[in-house]
């Protein structure tokens, strides 16, 4: 997101890209973003306007290629790829686009099996001999499990048991419970602490890159301690709630607290409840007038803000901690009303594209 701040030294407005969050595994919109870019490019062509500033977007191809590389790495040409999906999901067309692209680039070698978390309990079994995950129906091995939903607090014991089978199996998983936790808000807050990036990029040649990464961070604070520093931070947030966002550990967008609600939560929380949240410096993004188009509604001209996300995949081998492939290609633009605190398509946003200048 592009943050807009006023420099206290000279009163000039400064702009910079700031990281809101990082998501691993269940990332939606990889198919819708490219379609928005294609539509906007066609509209510009019809108006005889330059289209060269609308960058190509192949996000769903990137995800599909990552899944294909994982399937190849598993080494069994008869193995299937399981899409673990949310039953009745509003994102099923996005999921299908990744599925069809995976089949296309594999020349139809890869068979995809879609299972909800409830279906997984009865339709997936763990081989006790070698921990291969197999389809109950015909015994075929599962090479890759691509999770598009969960874990969720409302899961039943059977759904958790199915997830445990997947985690214990030899199937390549995106994502594992461990990698999903690595993109949580709590871990994001820890990575923003001084010296943490340097743990992973310790070489002198990486210093410039480390500094560039740090430029994208905003203030992030854990609230689990009860020391003087934490108490002073909480007091400042209560007195100035518009400067902060209070975020629970929930994933998937929403659930955040702003302004007076943030103040009330900090006043009411027990220490245990407070520890389950992260306090984040609020980003003040650049606004622009734009039309927002939704199904069966009139187009609305409104003040809008934009979030930009970059897609990529990383395939690693846990046995020797090696990185097999690490690729980035494709992007997602979500535009929402400037008056909306929450982001996401389900919270009033729309898919968009870039027009660079």
Q: Are 119 and 57 within one domain? A: yes
75 a known binding residue?
no
Nearest CA among 299, 257, 252, 300 for reference residue 276: 257
Clarify whether residues 38 and 132 are in a common domain. Answer: yes
Q: Is the domain of 199 the same as that of 109?
A: no
Does 281 count as an annotated binding residue?
Answer: yes
pLDDT at 7: 61
Asked whether residue 125 is marked as a ligand-binding residue, the answer is no
Q: Residue 268: left (phi > 0), alpha (psi -120 to 50), or beta?
A: alpha
**Lowest-confidence range among 38-47, 110-119, 147-156?**
147-156
pLDDT of amino acid 251: 60
Of the residues 257, 282, 307, the one at which a domain ends: 282
Residues 49 and 167 in one domain: yes
- Is the domain of 104 the same as that of 189? no
10-14, 124-128, 188-192: lowest mean pLDDT where?
Answer: 10-14
- What average pLDDT is seen over the chain? 91
Question: Is 123 labelled as part of a ligand binding site?
Answer: no
Q: What is the mean pLDDT of residues 323-337?
A: 92
In the prediction, which pLDDT does 6 show? Answer: 61
The CA angle 328-17-197, to the nearest 5 degrees, is: 65
> Is 292 within 8 Å of 300 (Cβ atoms)?
yes
> Of the candidates 256, 282, 308, which is a domain's last residue?
282
Look up the CATH number of the domain holding residue 197. 3.30.1490.50
Number of domains present in the structure of the chain: 2
State pLDDT tens for residues 15-66: 788 888 888 877 888 999 999 999 999 999 999 999 999 999 989 999 999 9
Confidence band, pLDDT 50/70/90 cuts, at residue 315:
very high
Determine if residue 336 is labeled as part of a ligand binding site. Answer: yes
Say what the pLDDT of residue 26 is: 75
Domain range for residue 267?
183-282
Are 211 and 312 contained in the same domain? Answer: no
Q: Do residues 135 and 162 both lie within one domain?
A: yes
| 252/342 Cα distance (integer angstroms) | 11
Rounded mean pLDDT of 313-322? 92
Phi, psi (deg, nearest 5) at residue 219: -65, 130
Residues 140 and 270 in one domain: no
User: Taking 60 as the threshold, does the pLDDT of residue 269 lie above it?
Assistant: yes
| pLDDT, tens only, 171-206 | 999 988 888 888 888 899 999 998 999 999 999 999
The verdict on 167 and 49 lying in the same domain is yes
250 labeled binding residue: yes
Q: Please report, in angstroms and rounded to a whole number, the separation of the first and last CA atoms in the chain.
A: 17
Task: Please indicate if the annotation marks 253 as binding a ligand.
Answer: yes
Instruction: Report the SS3 class of residue 50.
Output: coil
pLDDT at position 87 is 83
Q: Which of 258, 282, 306 is the last residue of a domain?
A: 282
Asked whether residue 249 is marked as a ligand-binding residue, the answer is: yes
Q: Measured between alpha carbons, how far is 69 from 160 in angstroms, rounded to an integer?
A: 28
One domain, residues 112 and 75: yes
């Amino acid at each position: 997101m592009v943050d807009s701040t006023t420099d206290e030294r000279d009163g000039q407005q400064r702009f910079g890209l700031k990281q809101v969050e990082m998501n691993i595994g269940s990332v939606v919109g990889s198919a819708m973003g490219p379609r928005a870019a294609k539509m906007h490019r066609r509209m510009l062509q019809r108006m005889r306007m330059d289209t060269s500033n609308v960058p190509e977007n192949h996000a769903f191809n990137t995800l599909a290629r990552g899944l294909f590389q994982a399937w190849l790495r598993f080494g069994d040409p008869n193995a299937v790829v399981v899409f673990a999906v949310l039953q009745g999901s509003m994102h099923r067309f996005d999921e299908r686009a990744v599925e069809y692209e995976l089949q296309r680039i594999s020349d139809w070698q890869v068979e995809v099996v879609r299972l909800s978390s409830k279906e997984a309990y009865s339709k997936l079994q763990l081989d006790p001999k070698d921990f291969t995950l197999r389809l109950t129906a015909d015994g075929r091995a599962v090479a890759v499990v691509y999770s598009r939903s969960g874990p969720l607090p409302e899961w039943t014991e059977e759904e958790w048991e199915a997830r445990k089978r997947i985690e214990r199996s030899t199937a390549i998983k995106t994502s594992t419970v461990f990698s999903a936790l690595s993109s949580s808000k709590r871990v994001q807050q820890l990575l923003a602490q001084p010296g943490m990036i340097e743990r992973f990029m310790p070489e002198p040649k990486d210093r410039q890159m480390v500094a560039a990464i740090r430029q994208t961070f905003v203030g992030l604070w854990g609230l689990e301690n009860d020391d003087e520093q934490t108490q002073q931070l909480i007091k400042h947030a209560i007195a100035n709630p518009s400067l902060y966002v209070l975020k629970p550990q929930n994933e998937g967008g929403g659930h955040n607290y702003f302004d007076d609600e943030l103040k009330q939560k900090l006043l009411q929380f027990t220490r245990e409840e407070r520890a389950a949240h992260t306090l984040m410096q609020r980003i003040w993004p650049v606004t622009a007038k734009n039309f927002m188009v939704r199904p069966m509604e009139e187009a609305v001209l409104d003040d809008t803000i934009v979030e930009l996300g970059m897609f990529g995949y990383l395939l690693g081998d846990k046995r020797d901690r090696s990185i097999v492939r690490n690729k980035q290609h494709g992007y997602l633009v979500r535009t929402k009303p400037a008056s909306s605190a929450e982001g996401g398509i389900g919270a009033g946003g729309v898919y968009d594209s870039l027009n660079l200048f």
